Amino acid sequence: MGRYSGKTCRLILMLVLTVGFFVAELASGYLGNSIALVSDSFNMLSDLISLCVGLSTGLIARRSRRGPRATYGYSRAEAVGALSNAVFLTALCFTIFVEAIRRLARPEPIDDARLVLIVGTLGLAVNLVGLLVFQDWGACCRRRRPPALPPAAAAAVLRAVPGGTPTGEADEAGDSPNDQKSPEEGSEKKKERKSEALNIRGVLLHVMGDALGSVVVVVAATIFHVLPLGNAPCNWQCYIDPSLTIIMVFIILSSAFPLIKETSIILLQMVPKGVNMQLLTDRLARVPGVSSLHEVHVWELAGGKNIATLHIKCQTPTDYQDAAYKIRKVFHEAGIHSVTIQPEYIDHKTSQLLCSSPCISKACDSQLCCSQREPPLAKTNGYTEKNDSCLSELHKDNGSSKNDIEIPIEYPLAEDSIKNVKNCDMSDEKSQLSRTRL
């Protein structure tokens, strides 16, 4: 398969169209001495910018070569690009909104209704073409793919090509790949497709916004053309444009918001949708050989690729080897395929739930990804720690020295102060905080 996918192909096509229209509008605006045309052409410019962002991040993410500068490659570029596009669009909507409010305060009629109508219709046509192009056709460059592929490869290719429909490619490959995949992978494929298309969704938002804008322009210009105002003062006709614009702004924002949410899930290292941490840790804790586990982290890199790391406490190395395989199985069933497991062997000095090897000194705690004072998402396998003495001490101390960090509801206990924990350390390692909750 060549460098270009259905996605990139479509983006390039749209880019060419938009550039062409932009140049044409600009030229005709200057030649015909019409400001409306010039300003509308600059709206196309914002479309262009979003297309460039989408295209470039898509290309960066495709060529996600891992190297010394980025150990995971740049596959996240699409999410960042989609977020940038969404924020850019929100900012543009804001300025359009401001403009509309100004117009409501001081209404103006459209002067040259006919010209505006023509330009608006042309712009609408270009935008509709763009919208159609970005629909899930994917037929653009499919012919470029090499025709014959072994059936197993087809399954992989299927997943790798976004925007392509499964059945279509199965037909081309001449073999139904469904035998090879387990059912969960089918849904994973859809998830992957959806999140890979983040890139396109950002661009699509812009195109849709532009299309809506053109619709508003056409409607307003039609009204002025059909019922010309002449020199009369502004009547209800002058309020159509701004009010429709405000409605349009709300429509665009309501569709930008889900995109922002989705990219946030990826970029903020949140647990990916479809992974239930509670269930997962429960299952993991029940794996034989695992005494307890802590520092469980699950996050999504991009496009359905989930990564997990965790620390487990085992009695012996053989325990660890056996448990490792089963742990991976649990993760695999949850859809997480890149797992790094750190074994720690139980010594009776540290508690079951705290990391035996956080860093070389406890002073690094603030640079740990998560503080070791209260290991969250830690679970033991069965029994709980019987070290409540220090716990109650800390409770009392915490009452007075509680500071105002916002504490999420899941962790009712307050954050410790260093002083108290150090006391704990010195007196008895065992009496560090232990939690058997998530």
Partner 1 sequence: MCGGMAAKGPGGPRWWQNRRARLLCMLALTFLFFVVEVVVSRVTSSLAMLSDSFHMLSDVMALVVALVAVRFAQRTRATKKNTFGWVRAEVMGALVNAVFLTALCFTILLEAIERFTEPHEIQQPLVVIGVGVAGLIINLLGLCLFNHHGVGGHGHSHGHGHSHGGRQHPRSGPKPEQPPGDGEAALHREETSTLVENCSSSNGVSQEKLGDMKDDMADLQVNGNAGHYPLDVEEVEEDSSAQLNMRGVFLHVFGDALGSVIVVVNALLFYGLWNPCPKDGPCFNPCINNHCMENATLSQTLGRANKSEQESITVAGPCWLLYLDPILCLMMVCILLYTTYPLLRESALILLQTVPKQIDVHSLNSKLRTLEGVEAVHELHIWQLAGSRIIGTAHIKCPDPSTYMMVAKRIKEIFHDEGIHATTIQPEFASVGSESGRGKCEFPCRTQCALKQCCGTGEDSTAKKTEKSSSLSISCSEVVIEFPKTRRTKSESIPSVKLEANTDQNEQFESSL
Segment lying near partner 1 (by CB under 8 A), choices 205-213, 216-224, 227-235, 360-368: 360-368
Alpha helices in 112-236 (DSSP H): 113-133, 151-160, 166-173, 183-196, 198-226
Q: Does 137 bind partner 1 (CB under 8 A)?
A: no
H-helix or E-strand spanning residue 241? helix 237-267
Closer CB to partner 1, 222 or 365, in the complex: 365
Closer CB to partner 1, 415 or 429, in the complex: 415
Distance of CA 415 to the CA centre of its chain: 31
- Nearest by Cα to 201 from 142, 152, 134: 134
Q: Does 379 bind partner 1 (CB under 8 A)?
A: no
Closer CB to partner 1, 135 or 357, in the complex: 357
b/e burial code for range 258-290 (CB count within 10 A of at least 16 → b): ebbebbebbeeeebbeebeeeebbebbbebebb
Closer CB to partner 1, 337 or 430, in the complex: 337
* Closest CB 66 distance from partner 1, rounded Å: 5
Q: Does 129 bind partner 1 (CB under 8 A)?
A: no
Out of 199, 306, 352, 380, the only residue in the binding site for partner 1 (CB under 8 A) is 306
Looking at residues 59 to 118 of the shown chain, list those that interact with partner 1 (rule: CB under 8 A): 59, 62-77, 79-80, 83-84, 87-88, 90-92, 94-95, 98, 102, 105-106
Contact map string, positions 395 to 424, toward partner 1, x by CB under 8 A:
-----xxxxxxxxx-xx---xxxxx-x---
Write the DSSP assignment of 69-111 as a string of letters: S-TTTTTTHHHHHHHHHHHHHHHHHHHHHHHHHHHHHS----S
Out of 167, 187, 235, 278, the only residue in the binding site for partner 1 (CB under 8 A) is 278
Closer CB to partner 1, 199 or 351, in the complex: 199
Please list, in sequence order, all residues whose beta carbon lies within 8 angstroms of the beta carbon of residue 177, skipping any fewer than 6 positions away.
Answer: 151, 152, 154, 155, 158, 170
Looking at residues 26 to 55 of the shown chain, list those that interact with partner 1 (rule: CB under 8 A): 35, 38-39, 42, 45-46, 49
Out of 48, 82, 126, 157, the only residue in the binding site for partner 1 (CB under 8 A) is 157
Q: Using the structure block, give the residue that is written with the tokens 């002025």.
A: 224
Closer CB to partner 1, 69 or 386, in the complex: 69
Give the integer Cα–Cα distance in Å for 403 and 415: 8
Closer CB to partner 1, 227 or 425, in the complex: 425
Looking at residues 253 to 272 of the shown chain, list those that interact with partner 1 (rule: CB under 8 A): 264, 267-271
Contact map string, positions 329 to 358, toward partner 1, x by CB under 8 A:
--xx--x-xxxxxxx-x-----------xx
Give the integer Cα–Cα distance in Å for 119 and 140: 28
Helix/strand/coil (H/E/C) assignment for every residue in 325-360: HHHHHHHHHHCCCEEEEEEEECCCCCCCCCCCCCCC
Closer CB to partner 1, 151 or 219, in the complex: 151
Q: Does 135 bind partner 1 (CB under 8 A)?
A: no
Structure tokens at 59: 């290309």
Segment lying near partner 1 (by CB under 8 A), choices 110-118, 144-152, 233-241, 249-257: 144-152
CB atoms within 10 A of CB 406: 4
Three-state secondary structure call for residue 298: strand
Looking at residues 166 to 225 of the shown chain, list those that interact with partner 1 (rule: CB under 8 A): 180-182, 185, 188, 192
75 contacts 235 by C-beta, under 8 angstroms: no
* Closest CB 69 distance from partner 1, rounded Å: 6
- Nearest by Cα to 19 from 36, 37, 44: 44
Closer CB to partner 1, 182 or 254, in the complex: 182
Segment lying near partner 1 (by CB under 8 A), choices 11-19, 107-115, 167-175, 294-302: 294-302
Q: Does 291 bind partner 1 (CB under 8 A)?
A: no
* Closest CB 39 distance from partner 1, rounded Å: 6
Closer CB to partner 1, 306 or 431, in the complex: 306
Ordered strands of the 305-314 beta sheet: 338-345, 305-314, 292-302, 379-380
- Nearest by Cα to 242 from 106, 90, 112: 106
- Total interface residues for partner 1 by CB under 8 A: 135
